[in-house]
Structure 1
Amino acid sequence: MEELLRRFETDSGGSSRLSSSIPAACRSEDCCLGVDEAGRGPVLGPMIYGICFCPLSKKEELKDLKVADSKTLTEAERENLFQKVDEAQSWLGWAVQILSPNMISTSMLQRTKYNLNALSHDTAIALIQHALDSGVQLKEVYVDTVGPAEKYEQKLSQRFPGVQVTVRPKADSLFPVVSAASICAKVARDRLVKGWTFAEDLGEMDSDYGSGYPNDPKTKEWLLKYLDPVFGYPQFVRFSWSTAQTLMDSRAVTVHWDDDEEDGEKAAQRQNNRSMLSYFSSSAEGARGQQTHRFFTERRLKSLTSL
């Protein structure tokens, strides 16, 4: 998986799919497939969807691997189980879809809203279709629910006629094939978050950003430290999350649009906030004590006090 993850690191602003080879047995025998995700809630890092599939005749062997819900396991236990899953490639296959923080945020904040549930559904559908397109003979699909289980199950059943679809809450603890998918997704996310390649020049960066969840004090501290007053956050941050938006509203410079309707309260608020022009003054630049943003360094731009 390491080599596959390096491909994503070269362009961590979008979405990438990584997959194992397709076992020959999965092309010739009826198969089951599980779907689960990792990293839905954090404000930092990607969300990853995973699938795992194997012949129906191998269900007992999958149980023997003792896969379990990834959230109940330590990182070392997950790594050990993923190695077992990957070593069983003669009959067990997997794939993961990496959704970058930038892709998640731009989707959620675009003019036509694309919420996280819709994004999750479409990603799961794309992975199931990927397995079918690869020749996997799917007969049973098990999915951990996003939103109402009954509606999601109906949606998937209509999309994949001839496949028996089961959608359940906590499916990762009910069906071993979903547990295996959960482990694939979580291991991929753990590795990406731990070794994240930042496109931005953050100097000697503090990599102790905690769990990435909004209520983690270390995560909050990191978000405060690396908030640029004009350009916001590195692409590692999901800027559509309310945690990030609240900090930007309170700490970043205020942008005023001439066609905004103003009342006395708005005008007073703007007086109490820094102007965006203050960002470009030499005194403000020194006061910030931060590295020059890559927008300027890539274009070899710098502030001048006189012409």
Structure 2
Amino acid sequence: MSGKDIEIKCLSSLNEYLSACDNSVNAVYLSQIPQVCKDHPCVLGIDEAGRGPVLGPMVYGTAFCPINNLQLLETLQCDDSKALTEEKRDDIFGKIGDNRNNMGWGIEVISPNFICNNMLSRSKYSLNQVSMDSAIGLIRAAKEGGVNIAHIYVDTVGKPEKYQSYLLSLFPEYKITVAKKADSTYPIVSAASICAKVSRDHALQVWKFPEEIGNVLHKDFGSGYPGDPVTKKFLVDHCDTVFGYPQLVRFSWSTAGNALENTAYHVEWEDIEDEDQKKPENNTSITSFFKFTKQSSTEKKQHEFFNRRCLKSTTEL
């Protein structure tokens, strides 16, 4: 089997996995862990791709290999994914798959829906915390899978010293290095960066639109970054005047919000006191505060649009 055949097979398996994922929820994948990564002390790297785009998921990646085989990373020419062409990233990712007996990798695909709902929730869950929790989850997955972790390298979010102390409090048994631009400094983080970037690119290529907005291809929404004119056009062309954007869009981003201001209907909510909110008379029974109604078998079910976004009706704010 040629190197190109291996690359295609590896990417084909990735696309098959990503195609089967529900875009509205997060998805975690960890490769088969080779025996050498259980028998020998390993380095493990963590990095992300897609933190800034207004479209698509953010993907966290991890890679791990034995310390006594670090030359493998040099042979694979692992480097910061941003410094590589798409073709080169795919080629290296294919070779990582080819070396499945010598190293392993994993990803978490964090859906735009998850990011937005948490960033806009009443109890704030910042993007930094989402990132840290994803990294922690991947470390735990590798640990539970039997990887003999000796040293963890992480590309930072926020202040490296604070992040490193936080990780050490959770994993005191490991050496941990958190640094800026770790993806261009430590080859194992570069490998994780490539796994994350390739996975995000291919997640966009196989993205399914349950909103039935038409046959939209990856090229139709560009890179997903706010400054991309193709992405801006997509935000204008695919904004429903009532429901807003499809799940591909991170509607908590200011870019999306600004586009909504010019496209969607503007709604003002008035604070109107209804009868149930008025002070009851002294002879009102306490049971009058509780209304129990049996749902009619003919009552219209909630639209799938709301079910996919985990939205429910409520009587109070």
TM-score, reference length from structure 2: 0.80
Would the alpha carbon gap of residues 3 and 87 (structure 1) be closer, same or farther in structure 2, given more than 3 Å must change?
A: closer
Whether contact under 8 Å (1:4, 1:18) holds in the other structure is no
Please tell me the residue identity of whatever aligns with 1:67.
C
Report the equivalent of 2:229: 217
CA separation in 2, counterparts of 1:64 and 1:205?
38
Report the equivalent of 1:106: 117
Secondary structure of 2:260's aligned partner: helix
Unaligned runs of 5+ in 2: 1-10, 273-302, 307-317
Counterpart check, 1:35 vs 2:46: yes
Shift of 1:295: 4.8
Shift of 1:41: 0.3
> Counterparts of 1:158-307 in structure 2 under 5 Å?
158-205=169-216, 207=218, 208-259=220-271, 295=305
Shift of 1:83: 0.8
Whether contact under 8 Å (1:50, 1:95) holds in the other structure is yes
Counterpart check, 1:26 vs 2:26: no
Please tell me the residue identity of whatever aligns with 1:17.
V
Whether contact under 8 Å (2:19, 2:206) holds in the other structure is no
Worse-matched range after superposition: 201-210 or 17-26: 201-210
Shift of 1:4: 4.8
Counterpart check, 1:53 vs 2:61: no
Would the alpha carbon gap of residues 255 and 180 (structure 1) be closer, same or farther in structure 2, given more than 3 Å must change?
A: same
Q: 1:44 aligns with which of 45, 55, 80?
A: 55
Would the alpha carbon gap of residues 139 and 295 (structure 1) be closer, same or farther in structure 2, given more than 3 Å must change?
A: closer
CA separation in 2, counterparts of 1:68 and 1:20?
21
**1:248-302 deviations in whole A, cap 9, x for unaligned?**
1232112222218xxxxxxxxxxxxxxxxxxxxxxxxxxxxxxxx9759xxxxxx
Please tell me the residue identity of whatever aligns with 1:131.
A
CA separation in 2, counterparts of 1:224 and 1:54?
45
TM-score, reference length from structure 1: 0.82
Would the alpha carbon gap of residues 224 and 6 (structure 1) be closer, same or farther in structure 2, given more than 3 Å must change?
A: same
Worse-matched range after superposition: 116-125 or 202-211: 202-211
Would the alpha carbon gap of residues 132 and 294 (structure 1) be closer, same or farther in structure 2, given more than 3 Å must change?
A: closer
Please tell me the residue identity of whatever aligns with 1:63.
E
Q: How many residues align?
A: 265
Worse-matched range after superposition: 44-53 or 191-200: 191-200
Secondary structure of 1:48's aligned partner: strand
Would the alpha carbon gap of residues 91 and 7 (structure 1) be closer, same or farther in structure 2, given more than 3 Å must change?
A: closer
CA separation in 1, counterparts of 2:226 and 2:130?
21
Please tell me the residue identity of whatever aligns with 1:250.
N
**1:80-133 deviations in whole A, cap 9, x for unaligned?**
000111111111000000001111111111111101000000100110011001
Whether contact under 8 Å (1:200, 1:294) holds in the other structure is no
Question: Which structure 1 residue ranges, 4+ long, deviate > 4 Å from structure 2?
Answer: 293-296
CA separation in 1, counterparts of 2:139 and 2:87?
28
Worse-matched range after superposition: 246-255 or 119-128: 246-255
Root-mean-square deviation (CA, aligned residues, Å) is 1.9
CA separation in 2, counterparts of 1:232 and 1:8?
25
CA separation in 2, counterparts of 1:162 and 1:84?
31
Whether contact under 8 Å (2:61, 2:195) holds in the other structure is yes
Report the equivalent of 2:158: 147
CA separation in 1, counterparts of 2:250 and 2:29?
22
CA separation in 2, counterparts of 1:55 and 1:139?
9
Unaligned runs of 5+ in 1: 261-292, 297-307
Whether contact under 8 Å (2:26, 2:111) holds in the other structure is yes
Please tell me the residue identity of whatever aligns with 2:240.
D
Whether contact under 8 Å (1:201, 1:294) holds in the other structure is no
**1:154-194 deviations in whole A, cap 9, x for unaligned?**
11111101200001111011111000000000110111112
Secondary structure of 1:219's aligned partner: helix
Secondary structure of 1:254's aligned partner: coil
Secondary structure of 2:249's aligned partner: coil
